[in-house]
Chain A
Amino acid sequence: MGYFLQVVIDAVSLGSLFALVSLSIGLIFGIMRLINFAQGDFVTIGAYSLLAPAAGAAPVLFLGALPWPLMIVLVLAVVVVLALVTERVAFRPLRNAEPATLLVSSFAVSYFLQNLVIVLYTSRPKALSLGTEISTVVDIFGLRIASIQLLTIVVTITLLVAISAFLRFTPLGLQMRASAENFRMARLLGVRANRVIAGAFAIAGFLGGVVALLLTAQTGVIDVRAGATLAVFGFFATVIGGMGSLVGAALGGFLVGAVSAVLQTILPADVRPFRDAVVFAAVIVVLLVRPRGIIASKSKERV
């Protein structure tokens, strides 16, 4: 029983990160039909902003040297600004282009950011321990849970609640939901495209910053490829959940996390290194059974 709960905690905390990434991807896709693969690199940049550019293996702290409240605020600010600049420079000029063109642009942004990191920091992964307070283990009902896992779960659930409240109760949130269903109609009714899209990117940037901090705290390593891998998992989660459904995207994130964590446990030790291949195979199976995702979006294609 205890072991089972341990796996559940692993699943939920891993799924939390995927859910935050898939929600970001789903939010932007819903509105502008852009699958933003650069979302993962927003996370990467957020993580590297903790460090100062340096070639050596030893980490030189930048934002990571600040007191933690200031550090958190600044990392989030860096990623939000990055997301907004990306939208302005790479996506807004292509607003009326085909979805495929937007996709190509998102890959370009992704590779640009990765190579920017390599130029500034080299491609060598860097170790960074984020505060000793959160690397403790807490004892709950006889379960030993890493406090960072607990923190990840609590932060994610708080953010999911906050975002759904935002979408439900604020004018901008309501305009985003309307735009996600029929952007053209929404614009005809006076919804300002730039504002809604910038809002979506700001939220995606904010979530990317949160994921950067949580991921770095969990792994203690900053790696240029970490974000891109996360984006792939997050994208699968979005697809499984049903493109265009935000609830589906979040659920998809938790599901992919759960499958990964369970596989990590039940797979024979020899196969474990190939866990991701099994996860991706599971994604294919889900899509064969439900091609439009778990929560199929009912809205028709935009005209």
Chain B
Amino acid sequence: MGILDLPRGGPSGYPGSRLIAEGVTVRFGGVSALSGVDLELGQSEIVGLIGPNGAGKTTLVNVLTGFQRPTQGKVELDGLDLRSDKPFQLAARGISRTFQAGRLFRRLTVRENLEVAGFHTGCTRRQARETADRLLEELDLTAFAGSTAGSLNYGHERRVGIGRALATKPKFVLMDEPASGMNDAECEELVACIAGIPAQFGCGVLLIEHNMKVILNACERIQVMDGGKRIAMGKPKAIITDARVRAAYFGTRHATAAGGNGIH
């Protein structure tokens, strides 16, 4: 258990808000999708969430974003229970999310996609537009501001999805496989983009991702799940050498992919 090296209060030295899941259990009928999972995310860090298919990663994100009520356990933001919040309240508290499929509003323009996400703060159209334009510039998407979201290519669509999540002015963004379907060059751009989020936007990132290159390059901590349980948590270097993780996750199939990558 050497890599479960975090004190219960979470990693020290990270200022700002904390999003905490504690002992979260989710049962569908008789099947446990999650059993007693903990997760902790600070406002200025990037945490990776990995595990084989069916490990419960998406269910955990669903719990954290109010899609799924936990059977047991609690979800707290700075000590505030989030379990009975409505979706718009979660957005107002600063929790945002991106999806595997971009789920953009395809008939709206790129700029409008970001504007919509800003209104919960009670701002005017003009203010929403200013925020949107600033974000588009920072994400290098200004050229597409007036295009219909449905006309974008895959990589840009993903980036707009991230921009839209950031337009809610979140404290935490939870990203579900942002790199899936991307080529190496696009992945590198994505890593650069994600790595800049905590400093640029004051926003913590939880990253679910199968692409180990992206995970290892972007994350400061990695949580590994298998069979609905947390099996490891720690720094990238410790994670890829952990025997349990290798057995459960990397297996023989992923060993080469993980071993071949540089660790930062």
Which of A177, A189, A298, A299 is the one whose CB lies under 8 Å from B117? A189
B141-167 vs A, CB cutoff 8 Å, 1 = contact: the mask equals: 000000000100000000000001101
Contact A174-B115, Cβ < 8 Å, known A169-B125, A188-B65, A191-B88: yes
CB-based A-B contact count at 8 angstroms: 76
Q: How far is the CB of B206 from chain A (nearest CB, A)?
A: 15
Whether A299 lies near B106 (C-beta < 8 A) is yes
Selecting from B29-37, B38-46, B90-98, B236-244, the interface stretch reads B90-98
Of residues 123 through 171 on chain A, the ones whose CB sits less than 8 Å from some CB of chain B are 169-171
A175 at the interface (CB under 8 A from B): yes
B181 at the interface (CB under 8 A from A): no
11 contacts between A and B (CB under 8 A): A174-B112, A175-B116, A177-B108, A181-B105, A185-B103, A187-B88, A188-B87, A188-B90, A188-B96, A190-B120, A191-B120
Summarize A's interface: helix, strand, loop or mixed.
helix
Whether A171 lies near B119 (C-beta < 8 A) is yes
A179-201 vs B, CB cutoff 8 Å, 1 = contact: the mask equals: 00110111111111100000000
CB-CB < 8 A to A187: which residues of B?
86-88
B124 at the interface (CB under 8 A from A): yes
Q: Which residue of B lies closest to A192 (CB)?
A: B88
A8 at the interface (CB under 8 A from B): no
A74 at the interface (CB under 8 A from B): no
Contact A175-B103, Cβ < 8 Å, known A189-B91, A189-B164, A193-B88: no
* Number of chain B residues close to chain A: CB under 8 A: 31
Q: How far is the CB of A188 from chain B (nearest CB, A)?
A: 5
* Closest CB pairs A-B (n = 5): A190-B120, A190-B91, A187-B87, A189-B117, A178-B116
Contact A186-B125, Cβ < 8 Å, known A181-B108, A298-B107: no
CA of A175 to CA of B108 in the docked complex: distance in angstroms? 11
Q: Which residues of A contact B (CB under 8 A)?
A: 169-171, 174-175, 177-178, 181-182, 184-193, 298-299
CA of A283 to CA of B47 in the docked complex: distance in angstroms? 56
Contact A181-B107, Cβ < 8 Å, known A174-B119, A190-B120, A298-B150: yes
Q: Which residue of A lies closest to B119 (CB)?
A: A171
Q: Which residue of A lies closest to B112 (CB)?
A: A174
B128 at the interface (CB under 8 A from A): yes
CA of A178 to CA of B164 in the docked complex: distance in angstroms? 12
Select the residue from B87, B112, B115 with max chain A CB neighbours within 10 A. B87
CB-CB < 8 A to A182: which residues of B?
103, 105
Whether A175 lies near B119 (C-beta < 8 A) is yes
Whether A192 lies near B120 (C-beta < 8 A) is yes
CB-CB < 8 A to A170: which residues of B?
125
CA of A177 to CA of B87 in the docked complex: distance in angstroms? 18
B131 at the interface (CB under 8 A from A): no
Which of B88, B106, B165 is the one whose CB lies under 8 Å from A298? B106
Whether B106 lies near A191 (C-beta < 8 A) is no
B59 at the interface (CB under 8 A from A): no
Of residues 66 through 111 on chain B, the ones whose CB sits less than 8 Å from some CB of chain A are 86-88, 90-92, 96-97, 99, 103, 105-108
